[in-house]
Amino acid sequence: TNRQQGFESESIVPLWKEAYYSLVMLEKMIHQFDDLCFAKDLEDIWEAICEMLLHPHSWLRNRSVRLI
């Protein structure tokens, strides 16, 4: 069924763990250094986080929403 295919594709998305743990690390850094979230150098990172809102893996979507 379509539902089963969705779960299968979610489990084989490459490199989702690396992206997830990078988001976790970024969140910890922002909590430690409040000024970091408004740094001009991080504009590209915020754009990438916005793109992860559409990622097929739910953990990445949830962590991205939490950061934003």
For all residues of the chain together, what is the average pLDDT?
83
Handedness of CA 42, 26, 51, 18 (dihedral sign): positive
**pLDDT one-digit tens code per residue, 34-67:** 887 888 888 899 999 999 999 999 999 999 999 9
Range with the lowest mean pLDDT among 1-5, 28-32, 50-54, 64-68?
A: 1-5
**Residue 14, φ and ψ in degrees, nearest 5:** -70, 145
pLDDT-derived band of residue 13, with 50, 70 and 90 as boundaries? low
Whether pTM exceeds 0.85: no
32, two tokens: 């430690």
Answer for the pair 63, 20: CB distance below 8 angstroms, yes or no: yes
What is the widest separation between alpha-carbon atoms in the chain? 47
Q: At what angle do helices 16-32 and 58-67 cross, to 10 degrees?
A: 20
